[in-house]
Amino acid sequence: MDCSISNIKYHLQVRDQTLSRIKSNIELMVATNGGNRVVVIPHSMGVLYFLHFMKWVEAPPPMGGGGGPNWCEKHIKAVLNIGGPFLGVPKAVAGLFSSEAKDVAVAR
Protein backbone atom coordinates (compact mmCIF):
# COMPACT_ATOMS: atom_id res chain seq x y z
CA MET A 1 0.00 0.00 0.00
CA ASP A 2 1.39 3.39 -1.03
CA CYS A 3 0.92 5.85 1.86
CA SER A 4 2.79 8.76 0.28
CA ILE A 5 1.27 12.23 0.56
CA SER A 6 0.66 12.48 -3.19
CA ASN A 7 -1.12 9.11 -3.22
CA ILE A 8 -3.29 10.07 -0.24
CA LYS A 9 -4.23 13.39 -1.88
CA TYR A 10 -5.11 11.60 -5.12
CA HIS A 11 -7.32 9.06 -3.38
CA LEU A 12 -9.10 11.70 -1.27
CA GLN A 13 -10.14 13.47 -4.47
CA VAL A 14 -11.11 10.27 -6.31
CA ARG A 15 -12.95 8.68 -3.39
CA ASP A 16 -14.42 11.68 -1.55
CA GLN A 17 -14.11 14.55 -4.05
CA THR A 18 -12.56 16.56 -1.21
CA LEU A 19 -10.79 19.03 -3.46
CA SER A 20 -13.92 19.58 -5.57
CA ARG A 21 -15.95 20.19 -2.42
CA ILE A 22 -13.44 22.76 -1.13
CA LYS A 23 -13.59 24.51 -4.52
CA SER A 24 -17.40 24.53 -4.50
CA ASN A 25 -17.56 25.83 -0.92
CA ILE A 26 -15.16 28.67 -1.66
CA GLU A 27 -17.07 29.62 -4.82
CA LEU A 28 -20.33 29.59 -2.86
CA MET A 29 -18.87 31.79 -0.11
CA VAL A 30 -17.62 34.33 -2.65
CA ALA A 31 -20.96 34.32 -4.53
CA THR A 32 -23.06 34.76 -1.38
CA ASN A 33 -20.88 37.52 0.10
CA GLY A 34 -21.09 40.07 -2.68
CA GLY A 35 -17.98 38.88 -4.47
CA ASN A 36 -15.74 39.38 -1.45
CA ARG A 37 -12.84 36.94 -1.56
CA VAL A 38 -12.30 34.45 1.27
CA VAL A 39 -9.57 34.24 3.90
CA VAL A 40 -8.52 30.63 4.43
CA ILE A 41 -6.91 29.49 7.71
CA PRO A 42 -5.50 25.95 7.37
CA HIS A 43 -3.78 24.27 10.33
CA SER A 44 -0.96 21.71 10.56
CA MET A 45 -1.08 19.18 7.70
CA GLY A 46 -4.04 21.11 6.31
CA VAL A 47 -1.50 23.77 5.33
CA LEU A 48 0.23 21.35 2.97
CA TYR A 49 -3.08 20.01 1.73
CA PHE A 50 -4.35 23.51 0.98
CA LEU A 51 -1.16 24.36 -0.93
CA HIS A 52 -1.83 21.24 -3.00
CA PHE A 53 -5.43 22.41 -3.48
CA MET A 54 -4.30 25.80 -4.82
CA LYS A 55 -2.17 24.09 -7.48
CA TRP A 56 -4.89 21.51 -8.25
CA VAL A 57 -7.72 24.03 -8.65
CA GLU A 58 -5.89 26.00 -11.35
CA ALA A 59 -4.66 22.94 -13.26
CA PRO A 60 -6.66 21.71 -16.27
CA PRO A 61 -8.83 18.58 -15.97
CA PRO A 62 -8.68 15.62 -15.64
CA MET A 63 -5.83 15.88 -13.09
CA GLY A 64 -6.81 19.36 -11.95
CA GLY A 65 -9.88 21.30 -10.95
CA GLY A 66 -10.13 23.32 -14.15
CA GLY A 67 -10.54 26.66 -12.42
CA GLY A 68 -8.11 28.43 -14.71
CA PRO A 69 -4.87 30.26 -14.03
CA ASN A 70 -6.46 33.09 -12.00
CA TRP A 71 -8.91 31.09 -9.87
CA CYS A 72 -6.99 31.63 -6.60
CA GLU A 73 -6.56 35.33 -7.28
CA LYS A 74 -10.29 35.74 -7.96
CA HIS A 75 -11.52 33.72 -4.95
CA ILE A 76 -8.88 33.87 -2.19
CA LYS A 77 -7.89 37.11 -0.48
CA ALA A 78 -5.37 35.59 1.95
CA VAL A 79 -4.16 32.32 3.41
CA LEU A 80 -3.10 32.37 7.08
CA ASN A 81 -1.12 29.21 7.75
CA ILE A 82 -1.09 28.05 11.36
CA GLY A 83 1.41 25.44 12.50
CA GLY A 84 2.32 24.15 9.06
CA PRO A 85 5.05 21.48 9.00
CA PHE A 86 7.25 23.32 6.50
CA LEU A 87 10.51 22.61 8.34
CA GLY A 88 9.60 19.29 9.92
CA VAL A 89 9.82 18.80 13.67
CA PRO A 90 13.20 20.19 14.83
CA LYS A 91 11.56 23.11 16.66
CA ALA A 92 9.01 20.83 18.32
CA VAL A 93 11.71 18.41 19.49
CA ALA A 94 13.83 21.25 20.85
CA GLY A 95 10.80 22.54 22.74
CA LEU A 96 10.38 19.20 24.49
CA PHE A 97 13.87 19.40 25.98
CA SER A 98 14.00 23.09 26.86
CA SER A 99 11.93 25.49 28.91
CA GLU A 100 10.95 27.34 25.74
CA ALA A 101 7.59 25.57 25.68
CA LYS A 102 7.02 25.66 29.44
CA ASP A 103 3.63 27.34 29.05
CA VAL A 104 2.42 24.65 26.61
CA ALA A 105 0.89 21.48 27.99
CA VAL A 106 3.10 18.63 26.72
CA ALA A 107 4.27 15.32 28.08
CA ARG A 108 7.88 15.62 29.26
Rounded Cα distance, 90 and 79, in Å = 24
Q: 21-47, pLDDT tens digit by residue?
A: 999 999 999 999 999 999 999 998 899
Span of 58-62, 75-79, 99-103 with lowest mean pLDDT: 99-103
User: Domains of the chain: which residue ranges?
Assistant: 5-101
> How many residues would you count in the chain?
108
Sign of CA dihedral 3, 43, 38, 71: negative
Is the distance from CB of 47 to CB of 84 less than 8 angstroms?
yes
Rounded Cα distance, 6 and 47, in Å = 14
pTM of structure: 0.74
